[in-house]
Amino acid sequence: MKKLGITALVLAAFVLGLSQSKSFMAFANERYLELQLFAKVLNLVQEYYVEEKDTKDLIYGGIKGILAELDPHTNFLPPETFKEFEAETSGEFGGLGIEITVKDEVLTIISPIEDTPAWKAGLQAGDRIVSINGESTKGLNLVEAAQRMRGKMGSNITLGIMREGLEEPKSYVITRGRVKIRSVRYTDLEDGFAYIRLTTFIEHSARDLERVLRNHEKKNSGIKGLILDLRRNPGGLLEQAIRISDFFLEEGVIVSTKGRNRMEKEVRHARRPAPFSGFPIVVLIDEFSASASEILAGALQDNKKALVMGQRSFGKGSVQSVVKLGDGSGLKLTVARYYTPSGRSIQAEGIAPDVEVSSLNMAELERARSSRPVRREQDIEGHLRSETSQRSTSRPRSTPREAPPHSNWWSGRSAGVKSESSERDKLLNQDYQVSQAYNYLRAFRVMSN
């Protein structure tokens, strides 16, 4: 403690020697008194607390207390936690596979990552985690919650989950496993159209996306249209979002950041001719699209390179800088806010879609449609047949004709046709928002012709 006091005095004397201004001296004196107060409390705890406490633990606790006054994304990462944090951005790590935040003072899942233990267990975006292994999560920050959820590979953890429609928490027992993220998922929609889902932004996301686009381009002699699905994408590495934006932008601003000094503004621009352009793009977002996914959606929207469809995004528009400290610990500190090319703040606002489309239950839509079948002229007994049908092989009058492909108003598939569904057909039949995005792409093509 004496060494700490002497060091503080030396630092204060050095700072005071840099300037003789009265205002600066007053500021330095005030800061010194506040640090002296912290040192005094630390000394009292060490001398008189009922149990002996490790000084390092007390200092770590003091740091956490400071950061608790800030936003939920600013955290202190002890050495082991910081080591795990560095591993997570590589695309393979151990754990549950969920992105969490604190929303309305409750630990909330932004999104479970696809094909991870949490995803397979049935956890959903928006779920509130009210307990971990029977202990309440009330008052936990993000780092503390993450620490409690980590454990040995193959071990079980029980999460108490509240979600809309539940009257009391539901327990989920999840086996911790190795989380290997495949961030790019591709489906060929045929006729030159492509569907690509970005689940998160990790080290190789841009590289994998470029490879998929090149293969589709080669296979179809070009790209006729693209659905870029960012729903339930919790974000990730900023540089990957910028690189992917650059794929589609010939020029212009991608994103800008502003810190405490509002006059200092960092602007990131498109840096090269766009390798993928000249075709319509629909970007899908929802209320769980956050951070880097919002930057990508905002960049394409403001530069008029894509139609953004779905629901307003999450609104996580703050910049965190990670600093490695001397003892192997780290500080994740919010240093700025993100802004779209037009100057819109993402923080707490999110990205508003150009076309709002709700996520609907396809099974219910199918039941509703089949319960009230549409009758047409051809279904009326004794109807006057068309000249075309008269020349073709006659059909029984009571049997409706099979509808042409893409006539179904939500899925682009004909109703009542039973056949083995391809991956494309399953996607269009089961996902209302994707089917609507697909309809828009086809409409763009028709109108351009």
% the chain with pLDDT above 90: 58
Average pLDDT over residues 163-171: 93
Range from 3-7, 329-333, 444-448 carrying the lowest mean pLDDT: 3-7
Are the CB atoms for 8 and 39 separated by under 8 Å?
A: yes
Average pLDDT over residues 176-191: 91
Range from 68-72, 94-98, 184-188, 282-286 carrying the lowest mean pLDDT: 94-98
Q: Is the pLDDT at 170 greater than 90, yes or no?
A: yes
Reported confidence tier of residue 31, pLDDT bands at 50, 70, 90: confident
For residue 360, the model assigns a pLDDT of 82
For residue 106, the model assigns a pLDDT of 92
Average pLDDT over residues 211-226: 97
Which superfamily is assigned to 92-180 in CATH? PDZ domain (2.30.42.10)
Average pLDDT over residues 1-21: 47
Domain ranges of the chain: 92-180, 230-356
Range from 94-103, 230-239, 276-285 carrying the lowest mean pLDDT: 94-103
In residues, how long is the chain? 449
Range from 237-241, 360-364, 414-418 carrying the lowest mean pLDDT: 414-418
Give the Å distances, CA to CA, from 175 to 123, 135, 152, 180.
Answer: 13, 18, 10, 15
Residues that are catalytic: 291, 302, 316
Q: Is the pLDDT at 442 greater than 70, yes or no?
A: yes
For residue 367, the model assigns a pLDDT of 72
- Single out the residue of 224, 248, 366, 242 nearest to residue 308, CA to CA: 248
- How far, in Å, CA of 145 to CA of 138, rounded? 10
- How far, in Å, CA of 338 to CA of 248, rounded? 20
For residue 392, the model assigns a pLDDT of 63
Reported confidence tier of residue 24, pLDDT bands at 50, 70, 90: low
Reported confidence tier of residue 16, pLDDT bands at 50, 70, 90: very low
Q: Is the pLDDT at 347 greater than 70, yes or no?
A: yes
Average predicted confidence (pLDDT) for the chain? 85
| CB neighbour burial string for 327-352, b if at least 16 within 10 angstroms, e if fewer | eebbbbbbebbbbbbeebebbeebbe
Average pLDDT over residues 424-448: 93
Enter the pTM of the model: 0.74
Burial of 229 (0-12, 13-18, 19+ CB in 10 A): buried
Are the CB atoms for 85 and 99 separated by under 8 Å?
A: no
For residue 401, the model assigns a pLDDT of 40
- Nearest-5° angle of CA 225, CA 230, CA 232? 150
Range from 35-39, 122-126, 304-308, 361-365 carrying the lowest mean pLDDT: 361-365
Are the CB atoms for 183 and 292 separated by under 8 Å?
A: no
Q: Is the pLDDT at 214 greater than 50, yes or no?
A: yes
The CATH number of 230-356 is: 3.90.226.10
